[in-house]
Amino acid sequence: MSGNDREAAVRRLLEQAPRPLPPEIHTEAVRRGGRMLRRRTLARRVMWLLLLVAAVAFTVWALTARPWVEPPSDTTPPLTGW
């Protein structure tokens, strides 16, 4: 099949009237689409909840452990009274 034959076949297909779909396909598509939207919404909410929990856990850890403070030295005693 040459390029012109393929192009003519495609044009014939595009010029034909679309076939009617069975009515049960529409209801099935709506049902599946609704289910997909509910799952996506639930997944999005769970992800935001996990992000919030992680942020709160990090904040509590940072306030408790205070990693920005230098730990006291254990190797040399403090020099006082000089």
Quick check: 21 pLDDT over 90? no
Q: Which of 16, 15, 32, 34 minimizes the C-alpha distance to 24?
A: 32
Compute the average pLDDT of residues 19-44.
Answer: 93
> CB 33: neighbour CB atoms within 10 A?
10
**CB within 8 Å of 1: residues ≥ 6 apart:** 9
Say which residue the tokens 């014939």 belong to. Answer: 12
- Identify the pLDDT of residue 2: 77
Higher pLDDT, 67 or 39: 39
